[in-house]
Structure 1
């Protein structure tokens, strides 16, 4: 008897084993390479200074289209796409100049008498906006692309053990949320006015409530519309919005622990290490992976226990945020100095190396010999996600430092804001500004496409067309909200 379409869809995303780390690196390398191309156009030729239709189209191709191509048409050989993008970027940077009557100059910092204290101690930084924006773009594209055959199964979420692009994407979404969550902690540290645990919990619950509502809406829609679902991902009733919703109150509790152990990275590692010890020395691992689903708790065991791992990932992101968000990395160096930027790069490189070495130590045959599991969100998964995100952030910071050195040299707020806009893709800014709202829209559109299109049987050319249109709608909405200065807080 032929399987019904829902069962075929569930089988399509089940029992997958992922791909290699090298393959993931080759695919994700398209993002920093695209940023290099964008930066070369802007820094050397002021291409995006007047943001009309053509600059928008190029911006869309580099920051949205390139990701889509890497995960679909160029997925058999992503390195070819990397080379095709990097080659013109190098030419634009060094060998080709657009003939103009008068060469345009990037905005320069003005000499003003204002004191350094007039500058925001926690400024917006282009490389962080780009990092957050690209994570959102990849996530939004992947949640629909995975339903089409043109999206390789090695990129889809792994069943139990292994690494994949989408597993990395889920963790990176949480990690990037942790990065920006460092801002209120830093504000308290600067002001010296610390809120009580009760106040933090109350505030965190207010932020969590909309996420729980979204989780309930998704649960109702999936069950009510008989939508295909992958139960072993989070459980029968749990979904990613519930995981996001539980993060704020638990993070508020760990902020108290931060006073005892003043390093979110250490807190993250200790939490994941204790969780790993419990997994390896009790029946918990077997319970999560193989136990029958007899009650509400066992039916949602993946979501409940993987939350521990996601919490550790969020804390690791906060640790990076504590280092990269402040204007002054080192109080010994003057504000806006080259030495400050060098210190920032050294900090990022060091953190990337540490997380990477810990990952190798826990997964290598001569180390602990553990295997990454997104389903468990175990210790190797934390290290995998943290290492990757730190390396990506380092790459974006290095690109900004090379192409836009004026960004960190501003001496007044107006110049700093102008430099920020000059060095940041409008699309990346828009995605970063309303990320969670756009993620919700992406989920709704994904559901709409799956309910109206038999994605399993769509030809590759048609699939790419649908995905381009889908990416265009979300990107257009993001830019439109940004143009009208609308921020949707969820």
Structure 2
């Protein structure tokens, strides 16, 4: 009779994935939920002008969790057979919130695109993209252990579009687009010094990877050996990539990282297709799938596939260079969104051609098709987050624009009368205006109006956001998710847990995880010390 550990390992192995479109819809649910969250906050602020409810931490945390986390949980559990309906339902919510808000706040003249409005310098859509990846991963690593999680979403054994196959690829892209190379902040250091710094900065990942290895082996925790190998794991992959990619980016300019990625990918695929690479990954040195040929052979999936992830990183750096270009208007960002959409289409076309003509998509090989899939999926998620950010930015600009009613028209008139040089009316300006014979009543009205507008602008910017909190301590978030997943698996017989109980456990787990990371953010506690 098989042990529970063996049953669990069998439960998460041997599957062939789902379809490209279904994975795209699942990952898109959280992205478009960003707009629902932001538009909902703006609308609530508009209804409660004092902002007391929208600024309350627990209220905001509950709102964020319900909008950003819960749909993700439902999409891979109770509503996994209604992905399209859930996706379209959130899209409909976006449209409804937008028109309700614009009808409430804006006059017809506001509906013209304001070319002078720019996105935040923080690139909120990038923060949202990176946080969504962390949240999706945290949900998936626990939910996959319950029967309620569809087996078609589990990692594909060799070939296939498994939802869980996207995790490592998304992480590599999210790190690449905000890397110093992508943001143009790479210090002018020699190769040796840069490699030394990369090794030092990868030490925490190595420590976590070793701790995970010791824990898994020590308590005989279930393993999916064909994922990375006997000893290798996700953290070792990230650490190795940090050093390897540092070496490459020191030798190649950031704006040439894309072509370099193509070169690395082509060479790697040639090894897979023409020099027995794929066969070796499947059968090992003994030709029977064994892992007795030493450390490399035992961990061949984790080590041999690194060039594929290097290619993903280089493509991500190239994408980051484009994203962090200076832009000064929504019109420029809309043009950028079109170019990003075109790049997603290009990768999608290469994905289809390679999947049919070169080799089926395989996370286990990190082949050319998998790289194209990861880039296409990542770019689509970024595009969805960007479009949401553009819409929200426009809505905020309408909110901050002086109201075109009789009162605001009178205010503009007073301001012109009392400030002919169009300088801002401050307290010091008030004294200057008063000495020139202007009415104190007019000056006071102008100052009050300015104060109300300034207060409105400040108070409409949320003091807390779950997505920003996750990014603030992203490594801790993922580490806690892994620890809590292990605790749940050791405490609960997940294979025998009913659907509703399983969903309740996942919701409670994500609630505790998000609350911890949110409290740390509110208190400005960062766990990054290297």
Relative to the length of structure 2, the TM-score reads 0.80
Does 1:446 pair with 2:485?
yes
Secondary structure (helix, strand or coil) at the match of 1:76 reads helix
Does 1:57 pair with 2:62?
yes
In the aligned structure 2, how far is the partner of 1:266 from the partner of 1:420?
45
Paired residue for 1:463? 502
Match of 1:476 among 507, 515, 523: 515
Does 1:171 pair with 2:169?
yes
Does 1:427 pair with 2:466?
yes
Return closer, same or farther for 1:38/1:256 CA change in 2, 3 Å cut-off.
Answer: same
Given that 2:466 and 2:514 are in contact with CA atoms closer than 8 Å, whether structure 1 keeps it comes out as yes
In the aligned structure 2, how far is the partner of 1:152 from the partner of 1:19?
10
Deviation at 1:231, TM superposition (A): 0.6
Given that 2:182 and 2:320 are in contact with CA atoms closer than 8 Å, whether structure 1 keeps it comes out as no
In the aligned structure 1, how far is the partner of 2:138 from the partner of 2:214?
21
Does 1:290 pair with 2:290?
no
Paired residue for 1:197? 191
Return closer, same or farther for 1:6/1:98 CA change in 2, 3 Å cut-off.
Answer: farther
Paired residue for 1:5? 4
In the aligned structure 1, how far is the partner of 2:31 from the partner of 2:463?
13
In the aligned structure 2, how far is the partner of 1:457 from the partner of 1:167?
25
In the aligned structure 1, how far is the partner of 2:122 from the partner of 2:93?
29
Paired residue for 2:330? 338
Secondary structure (helix, strand or coil) at the match of 1:216 reads helix
- What is the aligned-residue RMSD (CA, Å)? 2.9
Given that 2:37 and 2:67 are in contact with CA atoms closer than 8 Å, whether structure 1 keeps it comes out as yes
Deviation at 1:50, TM superposition (A): 1.4
Which sections of structure 1, spanning at least 5 residues, go unmatched? 112-118, 330-335
Residues 466-490 of structure 1: per-residue CA shift (max 9 Å, x gap): 1001101110011111101112226
Residues 108-148 of structure 1: per-residue CA shift (max 9 Å, x gap): x9x9xxxxxxx9x9931111111111111001110111111
In the aligned structure 2, how far is the partner of 1:274 from the partner of 1:154?
31
Secondary structure (helix, strand or coil) at the match of 1:90 reads helix
Does 1:94 pair with 2:94?
no
Given that 1:234 and 1:302 are in contact with CA atoms closer than 8 Å, whether structure 2 keeps it comes out as yes
Deviation at 1:170, TM superposition (A): 2.2
Return closer, same or farther for 1:246/1:155 CA change in 2, 3 Å cut-off.
Answer: same
Paired residue for 1:390? 379
Paired residue for 2:302? 303
Secondary structure (helix, strand or coil) at the match of 1:187 reads coil
Does 1:246 pair with 2:273?
no
Deviation at 1:399, TM superposition (A): 1.4
Return closer, same or farther for 1:369/1:352 CA change in 2, 3 Å cut-off.
Answer: same
Deviation at 1:202, TM superposition (A): 1.1
In the aligned structure 2, how far is the partner of 1:484 from the partner of 1:207?
25
Match of 2:342 among 341, 347, 350: 350
Residues 131-177 of structure 1: per-residue CA shift (max 9 Å, x gap): 11111100111011111111111111111001111101221111111
Return closer, same or farther for 1:96/1:317 CA change in 2, 3 Å cut-off.
Answer: closer
Paired residue for 1:124? 122
Given that 2:32 and 2:385 are in contact with CA atoms closer than 8 Å, whether structure 1 keeps it comes out as no
Paired residue for 2:273? 280
Paired residue for 2:430? none
- How many equivalent pairs are there? 452
Relative to the length of structure 1, the TM-score reads 0.86
Which sections of structure 2, spanning at least 5 residues, go unmatched? 47-52, 285-289, 401-453
Return closer, same or farther for 1:337/1:280 CA change in 2, 3 Å cut-off.
Answer: same
Secondary structure (helix, strand or coil) at the match of 1:229 reads coil
Given that 2:176 and 2:182 are in contact with CA atoms closer than 8 Å, whether structure 1 keeps it comes out as no
Match of 1:371 among 360, 369, 379: 360
Deviation at 1:361, TM superposition (A): 2.3
Deviation at 1:407, TM superposition (A): 7.9
